A and B are shown apart, each in its own frame.
Chain A
Amino acid sequence: MSLFAEHAGSDQFQRSQHEPARERQEYGSVGMTLLIGSFTLGIILSLLAIGVFISFRVFDFPDITVDGSITFGAAVAAILLVHGRDPFTATAGGFAAGFAAGAITGILHTKFKINGLLSGILVMTALYSINLHVMGRSNLPLLNVTTLANYAEHAGNLFFMGKSSLNIFGWDVPMKDAAVLLCASLLTVAIGWLLFAFFRTDLGTAMRASGNNPQMMSALGVSVENMIIVGLALSNGLVGMAGALLAQYQGFADVQMGIGMVVLGLASVIIGEALIGARSLGLTIVGAVMGSVLFRLLVAIALRWGLDPNDLKLITAFFVFIALILPRLLAGLRKRKS
């Protein structure tokens, strides 16, 4: 087991490389399996990207809680599943877990006036112990439990009438992979739309405005502090949900799986903005999803080319660094030209 959170992607890649030839024929091309796997991971982690978008972009709040809350969501969902709860309850539990973690970060920051970055670090650190307690150990496999992935396969079986593989653009794709991807996509679209709708309600616009101009919102009768608390809770709720889905998809929850997730989410948001801009709210949310998927695909390609999975975090961090300084560099170049 790799120490890093990328194991979902890298493991799957390694697994598929070691698959015997017989299985390969059965499941179609390795490339396609890898592609579908990356797509699914990207879709699942787009909830993380949307969560990071809320804290970083709506509130301009660098929320490190994410690293802890994604694991918290995964841990809570996993333990609920192990105790025989249905996967919907488990996923909702993951959301609730993240929601609570985010609310605490918000309270530390607003009510106790602790620096935003430090509030997140405190909660993230505390969550590490809590996650160990929740799971009872550092890695909790989901063996012999029904997950949302199984539900998706069932749905796929009914929908595709029991075919074991599908033909997509001339590629043979295992039906169950396609079904999981399809269901994850539907869920993401639903959540993205819900969030978009929420941000257009009285409460949602007030939340966005509280990030954009707190002084004005105070003057209009909104408690900016409460908005930050609810906003961070919502953000981490989505992150916790991403954790719950990730655990069900990869078949285990691991106490280390959150490391570097906030940077990964930020990278997705930045890629999304580069892809379709940040002109409107809807586009930004769509961008975050697209960014997450594209990022996963890039990772898969890089791994295929022989990138050491251990270097992934370094490269991600470097990428975000470049993306952060690029606007200033470009502005500087333009100035020099004129």
Chain B
Amino acid sequence: MSALLEVKEVSKTFFAGTPNAVWALQNVDFSMKEGTFVIIIGTNGSGKSTLLNAIAGTFPVDHGTICLDNTNITSFEEHRRAKWIGRVFQNPFSGTAPEMSIAENLALAARRGQKRGLRWALHASLKKELRNRISRLGMGLEDRLDNAIGTLSGGQRQALTLLMATWLRPRLLLLDEHTAALDPKSADQVIQLSQEVIHKDRLTTLMVTHSMQQAVHLGDRLIMMHRGRIIFDVTGAEKQRLRVEDLLYRFQEVRRRDQLDESAADMLRKNYV
């Protein structure tokens, strides 16, 4: 079976040519099979969110190709990729339009990547479906469909964003630390909902997380990024055996290697410069 997502030799440098240049992605090769749930972890600035944004098309990449579902989407703008991709952002404010009602937000999501014409956004059959699917979130939001989303809590907004991203089954679901800004209870709730929908719809999912717990317990493959590169990739039984201690050990290893690099550079500088 060919891969659903194929990222080939992708590089991205921010502020290129300035002293502040950041090599966010360096020749990243990465592919995902249909139906897999991949977790990305990494230190701050390791490029994990950049990788997600490169796939989503937030910015053009400097080098390399991205293929989704056998289509080369490298040159596609963000909104053209939305047909295949559902996204939930880290910031609960990013995924919903605060001044519009819950119902209107979902109606917008119900036409993700499709033509939008002059049909009523909230037609009768959609309204019925809305009530149905929102009540399944178990948050009591089905009675507040006409309230502005801005009046909801971060957890509720994130749950709705997740529902919006998966309203039409996406070929690829991108979750970018979508529980990082939530309190622990809401985070658990949103993770629970994510697991349910990913399992039920057999969604191909790429999830960035900061939480070691989530990284260990979720997904069937894990990749670790550091300085714009993938440095660790486990899958299958090995992933299932993975524990928090193993990840912490990996992170320490990375830190030691960085320190080694620095001290080596220091030594070279002293001796030769």
Mark A residues whose CB is within 8 Å of B: 198, 200-206, 208-209, 212-213, 215-224
Contacts and interface: CB of A to CB of B under 8 A. Distances in A.
Given A217-B97, A219-B85, A223-B77, 18 more contacts: A200-B120, A200-B121, A201-B117, A201-B121, A202-B118, A202-B119, A203-B117, A204-B121, A205-B108, A206-B108, A206-B116, A209-B105, A212-B99, A213-B94, A216-B97, A220-B112, A221-B83, A221-B114
B122 interface: yes
A208 B79 CA distance: 16
B79 A224 contact: yes
B80 interface: yes
B154 interface: no
B121 A212 contact: no
A205 B98 contact: no
Contacts, number: 89
9 contacts: A202-B116, A205-B108, A206-B116, A212-B100, A217-B97, A219-B82, A220-B108, A221-B82, A224-B79
A78 B249 CA distance: 79
Nearest to A210: B97
Contacts of A219: 56, 78, 82, 85, 87, 89, 95, 165
Say what secondary structure dominates the interface of chain B. loop
Contacts of A215: 89, 94
A205 B104 contact: yes
B96 interface: yes
B102 interface: no
A259 B232 CA distance: 64
A204 B164 CA distance: 18
A220 B120 CA distance: 18
The 10 closest A-B pairs by CB, nearest first: A221-B82, A221-B113, A202-B116, A212-B97, A205-B121, A213-B97, A209-B97, A201-B118, A218-B78, A203-B116
Interface string B101-113: 0001101110111
A200 B116 contact: no
Interface residues of B, number: 36
Given A203-B117, A222-B116, A208 B100 contact: yes
Nearest to B107: A205
A203 B105 CA distance: 13
A279 to B, nearest CB: 9
A223 B114 CA distance: 12
Contacts of B82: 218-222
B71 to A, nearest CB: 15
Interface string B191-211: 000000000000000000000
Nearest to B82: A221
B108 A209 contact: yes
Contacts of B105: 209
Interface in B43-93: 56, 77-80, 82-83, 85, 87, 89, 93
B100 A202 contact: no
A203 B120 CA distance: 9
Contacts of B99: 212
A136 B111 CA distance: 48
B176 to A, nearest CB: 11
A332 B87 CA distance: 39
B144 to A, nearest CB: 15
Contacts of B108: 205-206, 209, 216-217, 220
A224 B80 CA distance: 11
A216 B95 contact: yes
A125 B56 CA distance: 39
Contact of A198 (B85, B93, B94, B118): B118
A206 B115 CA distance: 11
A216 B106 CA distance: 12
Contacts of A212: 97-100
A140 to B, nearest CB: 36
A219 B122 CA distance: 20
Nearest to B123: A202
Contacts of B56: 219
B102 to A, nearest CB: 13
Contacts of B109: 220
Nearest to A205: B121
A221 to B, nearest CB: 3
Contact of B79 (A203, A213, A221): A221
Nearest to A58: B99
A124 B238 CA distance: 66
Contacts of A213: 93-94, 96-98
A200 B104 CA distance: 9
Nearest to B118: A201
Contacts of A223: 77, 79
Contacts of A203: 116-118
Contacts of B164: 220
Contacts of B112: 220-221
Contacts of B87: 219
Contacts of A201: 116-121
Nearest to B122: A200
